[in-house]
Amino acid sequence: MALSLPNSASFDVHADGNAGPRWKKWLARLERMFIGMNITVPKLKRALLLHYAGPDVDEIFDTLPNTGEDNDYDTGVAKLNEYFSPQVNTTYEVYNFRQAKQKEGELLDSHPTRLRQLAKTCEFSAIDKEIKEHIILTCTSSSLRRRALRENPTLEALLKLGRALELSAKQAKDVEDTGNDSVNKINTKEDDRQSRRRNRTEDSSQSRRKRSQSHNRHYGDKQGKSSRKCGNCGGHAPHKNPCPARGKTCNAWGKIGHFAHVCRSKPRTVTLWELLKSSKKNTSTFTRSTIKKTGSHQYASYKFMENR
């Protein structure tokens, strides 16, 4: 009966100096394949063993004494086990065990499983004790480490405590995330309302400014033409007739061409005595704006107003 053989990697004899543990794992996978394919004939099993093991193992097998007949599968396996078993480097295996740390996000249950596989070739006298101590030193949960150092539990109790802590941490995270989502939604709604209010206020202000600017553009020129004042006489400009201040003398500074009440020059500051003397000669009226003291003399600042 023809068999359809599945693909399988051959055994790498020279991968490292610790071929013994690797050979045991490789042989265990091969025998599981025999069970799955219901291969029970010893001669066929021996032939498939050497076929899948690869040319390096086949050459080693040819050099071994007393390997039995072609139909003796158990003797052939025993001879290969004897050849590879002395090549177990216990120190290296212990090193691999010590380097195995719980990965970020890895559940605690999968960590001791890996450790137990690595411990098989370490020749520990108390495997559970070694695994427990290694978990305490390398686990990612500081809460579990503190509890274990304080209570010194067994391996079974340590794993049970670790599962409980992982479950409570996950539940707390779910609750906190839900609460944060609710708060974020509330804050987002409030921010949206405030943003809409700001936008309405800004739109209203812009509308008022636009209406004001439009009104100013519409009426500004008209009012500017009708209500502009003459800078010489103070009356409406432009004049239909010659300006009343044309040729007139400013009573404030004596300049020609404008009246005193529209004079743009700085008001004079005179002494009270000068003002009294001037008032006898001038019929113009005046108003006092400021009085200040300098030493023992009083001074007054006046702006002459045209008597019109």
- What are the residue ranges spanned by the domains of the chain? 19-87, 229-308
Which element (helix H / strand E) includes 288?
strand 285-294
pLDDT higher than 70, residue 179 = no
Structure tokens at 55: 């040319």
What are the phi and psi torsion angles at 288 (to 5°)?
-85, 135
Which carries the bigger pLDDT value, residue 304 or residue 83?
A: 83
Residue 155 buriedness (CB in 10 A; 0-12 / 13-18 / 19+): middle
Chain segment 130-142, per-residue pLDDT in tens: 999 999 999 888 8
pTM value surpassing 0.85: no
Rounded Cα gap, residues 302 and 280, in angstroms: 16
Q: What confidence score (pLDDT) does residue 189 get?
A: 67
Amino acid at 36: G
pLDDT higher than 80, residue 306 = no
Q: At what angle do helices 55-63 and 42-53 cross, to 10 degrees?
A: 120
